[in-house]
């Protein structure tokens, strides 16, 4: 078992709170004199980003107020993020805590846990490991599989998020945009085929985490939010529906990240690239 939350305390915490005391939180049932300061939170995000969904849901779960700033999807965000969060920190999400930069979804969840310990995001060591797995081994699929599919259906670049299919000039633009995304994320056809072939094993891992109670509890923990957000961005891909439907992964994703409209109809990936689902035995 994890010694509750100790590993995530940082030495600067108290000084940081004292410096940023603009609002105050009163916990339910506490004396009005027992108040602790709540820092100002600014979340820097990109609209479709799943780690940003993870962080925003965690902030809401903690009952903290925050401002979300969506950076434009026009290519300037890496430079802007580095200005705010330091050299090399070009990705979203980032969180300014009273102006102090915290970069990356896992670091942010840990900081949120320090600011507001309840409900805990880290009830056990198993959750810490499952969160790591969700970030390091699953999260990239939330980028590579959607961009991978859009290469074959570029006219649906907007439709995957609920927009309209593109016309000819729009599709010309989308083809260039998706090609850029393949380059940026290091997607190749070989890698995409491997990602698809490996997806059932990852879904099985999520199933076993749920069966052993690491994820899927009443209140989401850090692993639910990391894993659920990635699965949520895979749900609009029709080719993946037979693999995901009825699994713990789907249930957790939809519970914490409600489904939107839009999607890609089945048949986007080349025939034979999406593996058959082998149903695991019931509990
Ligand atoms: N593992 C990191 C990954 C962050 C990440 O790659 N974010 C993507 C959005 S999903 C991003 O910023 N992409 C734009 C870019 O790399 O410039 C985290 O969870 O914070």
Closest CA to 95 of 129, 130, 51, 134: 51
Pair (178, 147) in one structural domain: yes
266: in domain: no
Pocket flag, ligand 1, residue 230 (CB < 6 Å):
no
pLDDT of 75 reads: 82
Nearest-CA residue for ligand 1 atom 2 is 104
Q: Total domain count for the chain?
A: 2
**CB atoms closer than 10 angstroms to residue 9:** 13
**Assigned domain for 50 exists:** yes
Asked whether residue 191 is assigned to any structural domain, the reply reads: yes
**Final residue in a domain of this structure, among 115, 137, 164:** 115
Domain containing residue 21: CATH number:
3.40.30.10
Interval between CA 129 and ligand 1 midpoint (Å): 20
Say if 216 falls within a structural domain.
yes
Same domain, 129 and 206: yes
Rounded to the nearest integer, the mean pLDDT of the chain is 88
Q: Is residue 223 part of a domain?
A: yes
Asked if 192 and 107 sit in the same domain, the reply is no
- Residue 237, SS3? strand
Atom 14 of ligand 1: nearest residue by CA position? 91
**Torsional class of 40: left (φ above 0), alpha (ψ -120 to 50), beta (otherwise):** beta
Q: Are residues 77 and 138 in the same domain?
A: no
Q: pLDDT at position 18, please?
A: 28
Residue 1 lies in a domain: no
Parts of the chain with a pLDDT under 70: 1-36, 279-283
Residue closest to 112 by CA, chosen among 96, 125, 132: 96
The answer to whether residue 276 sits within a structural domain is: no
Phi, psi of 171 (to 5 degrees): -70, -35
Same domain, 230 and 131: yes
Cβ of 161 closer than 6 Å to ligand 1, yes or no, is: no
State whether 67 and 162 are in the same domain: no
Domain's final residue, options 51, 84, 115: 115
67 forms bridges with which residues in the sheet?
42
CB burial of 134-149 (b: ≥16 within 10 Å; e: otherwise) equals bbeebbbbbbbbbbbb
* Ligand 1 binding pocket includes 51 (Cβ within 6 Å): yes
Mutate to test the pocket of ligand 1, among 45, 47, 51, 177 (most ligand atoms within 8 A of CB): 51
List the domain range (segments joined by +) for residue 50.
6-28+36-115
Q: Is the CB of 50 under 6 A from ligand 1?
A: yes
Q: pTM of the full predicted structure?
A: 0.87
Asked if residues 235 and 259 have their Cβ atoms less than 8 Å apart, the reply is yes
Based on the domain organization, do 48 and 149 belong to the same domain? no
Is residue 264 a part of any domain in this protein?
Answer: no
Helix H or strand E segment including 69: strand 67-70
Report in angstroms the alpha-carbon separations of 223 from 13, 50, 186, 263.
24, 13, 26, 25
Task: Say whether both 150 and 251 belong to one domain.
Answer: yes
On whether both 108 and 178 belong to a single domain, the answer is no
DSSP 136: I
């Amino acid at each position: 078992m994890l010694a509750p939350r100790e590993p995530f305390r940082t030495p600067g915490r108290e000084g940081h709170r004292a410096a940023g005391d603009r609002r105050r939180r009163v916990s339910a049932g506490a004396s009005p004199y027992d108040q602790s300061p709540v820092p100002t939170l600014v979340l820097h995000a990109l609209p479709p980003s799943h780690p940003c969904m993870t962080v925003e849901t965690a902030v809401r779960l903690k009952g903290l107020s925050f401002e979300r700033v969506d950076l434009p999807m026009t290519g300037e965000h890496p430079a802007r993020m580095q200005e705010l969060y330091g050299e090399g920190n070009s990705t979203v999400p980032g969180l300014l805590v009273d102006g102090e930069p915290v970069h990356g979804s896992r670091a942010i969840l840990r900081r949120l846990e320090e600011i507001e310990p309840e409900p805990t995001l880290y009830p056990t060591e198993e959750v810490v490991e499952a969160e790591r797995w969700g970030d390091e081994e699953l999260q990239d699929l939330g980028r590579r599989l959607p961009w991978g599919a859009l290469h074959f259906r570029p006219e649906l670049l907007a439709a995957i998020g609920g927009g309209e299919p593109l016309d000819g000039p729009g599709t010309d633009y989308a083809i260039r945009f998706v090609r850029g995304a393949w380059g940026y994320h290091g997607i190749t056809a070989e890698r995409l085929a491997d990602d698809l072939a490996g997806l059932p094993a990852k879904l099985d891992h999520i199933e076993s985490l749920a069966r052993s109670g690491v994820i899927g509890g009443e209140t989401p923990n850090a692993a639910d939010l990391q894993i659920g957000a990635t699965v949520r961005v895979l749900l609009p891909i029709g080719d993946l529906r037979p693999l995901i439907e009825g699994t713990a992964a789907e249930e957790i994703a939809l519970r914490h990240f409600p489904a939107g409209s839009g999607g890609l109809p089945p048949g986007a990936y080349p025939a034979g690239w999406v593996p058959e689902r082998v149903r695991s035995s019931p509990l």
